[in-house]
Structure 1
Amino acid sequence: MKRIAIAAVVVLIVIAAALFLLRGEQDAAAPTLAEGQLRPAWSGQPLSEQAQRGEYLALAGDCIGCHSVRGGQDYAGGLPMPTPFGTLYTPN
């Protein structure tokens, strides 16, 4: 009886995964923006206020500390961070 229950759960997981993957194929046919055309995320604030808020958050979070290499361009990434499972490099 326990084997039947486990098999049923596995079958349900496989069906759910297949439905999830097939759903993604429908999105591929959706219309896309022309190359070079950007659609900004609108928050209701003018861009200058939004940019100032981003600058404030980057300074408050000390993003430059991990996303910049000493002597390199600010926020360019590339800072090596040694870990027990290998060296990770910060993204820009």
Structure 2
Amino acid sequence: MTMVESFMSIAGACALASDESFMSFIEEDDRVISCSDIEEGDCFITVECNNVAALEDFTNELKQKYNILTVGHNIMLKPVTGVA
């Protein structure tokens, strides 16, 4: 059995990191599993979502709300162990 891990990278993370509403939006969203910390000079932030559908919905919402032009998606299949 495999589990899909869905990630997005958002360009311009440095500029967005200072926007408290942006960071709150990501941190408080139920579709988000984890979010990378943004350090000074970072170009990207990585957000892991529950599944591909959640990733797509979240991406569209982010693009509209924060006028983000560049978002890259990465989908990884990860084997799940111990599941019958």
Coarse TM-score class (shorter-chain normalised): under 0.3
Higher RCO, 1 vs 2 (CA within 8 Å, ≥6 residues apart): 2
- Say which structure is richer in helix: 1
- Say which structure is richer in strand: 2
What is the TM-score when the length of structure 2 is the normalising length?
Answer: 0.24
Q: Of the two, which has the highest radius of gyration?
A: 1
What is the TM-score when the length of structure 1 is the normalising length?
Answer: 0.22
